[in-house]
Amino acid sequence: MSSIDKKKILIGISGGIAAYKVPLLIRLLIKKGAEVKVVATSNALEFVTPLTLQTLCGNKVYKDMFGEWEESTTEHIALADWGDCMIVAPASADVIGKYANGIADNALTTTLSAFNKPVFLCPAMNSTMYFNKAVQRNLNLLRQDGVRIIDSEEGFLACGTSGKGRMEEPEIIVQRVEEFFSYNQTDSDNNLDFSAKKVTITAGPTRERIDDVRFISNNSSGRMGIALAEEFTSRGVYVDLVLGPVSIQIPNNKNLNVINVESASEMYAETLQSAKDSSVVVCAAAVADYTPREKYDGKMKKKEDNLHLDLVPTKDILKELGIRKSASQILVGFALETDNELENAKLKLKKKNLDFIVLNSLKDKGAGFEVSTNKVTIIDKSNKVREFPLKDKREVAKDIVNLIKEFF
């Protein structure tokens, strides 16, 4: 039986040619046992008729804010209460912008504002619009707000060009929603398994001070580690997040203890302390491998000569955890590789005595630092290799946490 069987799914359609794929999306959801209702903008209904939508889902299409309602005078609230999740497909640049900024001026955006359950957003637009800075900024805002973005694909676009911006295929959208509900259904079991256990996570970059105003660092955004912390805490697990300097906002959660650090040596001390009573330790931080031998007090003056920095190796936190780890503790590392990815990751797994290692290759588009998506391969200590598709970092975090649960 599908995990969406008997689920109430609200589809929001905004104006874009990809709206022609929505009837197929409805068919697929209904075939899997879901109940479907539709809310559409008037532009959406230029591309797909209310009669088609109504016939397929067996419910009237909600399209006017001030229409005559049989059931409720505040239909957007009634609809929002009804749905177990909402899929916005296609999501135009306009609806993305409005939703990200709290604007509610039509039937779809008012319903979205009143909806406090999982929302899946399927962007669809021309490539230039998709890469427009405001659109990307709004998508990032929505990701940070917990909206699940089912990202656009590369492909042939209605404007005659080819590129990123094509709405994901209905089959894949349904698959993502099914994945979500199947994880969620096991969440209550996960809660039980993980209860009373503590997890330590390292995330973000470190800063190695040269003088009072300069430092050596890297591009890590901390997103992957923060997504892992969110995933664990959402399952009722207590998390110590040892976090290097990052600019993204950290969600508030009573189960989350953020320990801010700056340098590799501070991260080393805090992580080893926290890990002592943790059942799971995940090192997702991009720790500097070298640090200046001495920090200059004040601001170093410019000289005519070349400047040579004397850098010494930092301590490897993960390796030290591997030495100290008890038989019952699960230790997970990350590896960011550019060459011989799999072999190098396997070597790190062994050398650092890990239970598994999460490999991201910088060769994969959409994976690695500073982006909100990741494509990972997980290798466990029996050398079993699991490959995952490109996903939002929150979804990657779910995959990792589900795998950790298997190791208990």
Residues that bind ligand CTP (CB under 6 A): 202, 264, 283, 285, 287, 289, 314, 316-318, 333-336, 348
State in angstroms the smallest separation of the CB of 359 from ligand CTP.
Answer: 9
State in angstroms the smallest separation of the CB of 340 from ligand CTP.
Answer: 11
Q: Which of 57, 85, 122, 159 is catalytic?
A: 159
Terminal-residue alpha carbon distance, the chain: 27
Q: Which lies closer to ligand CTP via its Cβ, residue 150 or residue 287?
A: 287
State in angstroms the smallest separation of the CB of 348 from ligand CTP.
Answer: 6
Cis peptide before 313 (omega within 30 of 0): no
Token pair listed for 42? 């008037």
Q: Mind spelling out the 3-state secondary structure of 177-221? A: HHHHHHHHHHHHHHHHHHCCCEEEEEECECCEECCCCCEECCCCC
Distance CA 79, CA 100 (A): 20
State in angstroms the smallest separation of the CB of 308 from ligand CTP.
Answer: 22
Tokens 């090192």 locate to: 283
Active site residue 57: no
Query: Phi and psi for 165 in degrees, rounded to 5?
Result: 140, -10
State in angstroms the smallest separation of the CB of 310 from ligand CTP.
Answer: 18
Q: Which lies closer to ligand CTP via its Cβ, residue 44 or residue 228?
A: 228
**Type of residue at 165:** G
Q: Which lies closer to ligand CTP via its Cβ, residue 28 or residue 283?
A: 283
Distance CA 259, CA 315 (A): 19
State in angstroms the smallest separation of the CB of 141 from ligand CTP.
Answer: 28
Q: Which lies closer to ligand CTP via its Cβ, residue 296 or residue 369?
A: 369
Q: Which lies closer to ligand CTP via its Cβ, residue 148 or residue 348?
A: 348
Distance CA 99, CA 138 (A): 8
Token pair listed for 186? 């096991």
Q: How many CB atoms lie within 10 A of CB 152?
A: 23
Distance CA 230, CA 245 (A): 18
Helix or strand holding residue 122 (H, E): strand 119-123
Q: Which lies closer to ligand CTP via its Cβ, residue 127 or residue 217?
A: 217
**Sheet harboring 256-260: ordered strands across?**
256-260, 238-243, 198-203, 280-283, 330-337, 356-361, 376-380, 385-387
Residues annotated catalytic, as ranges: 159
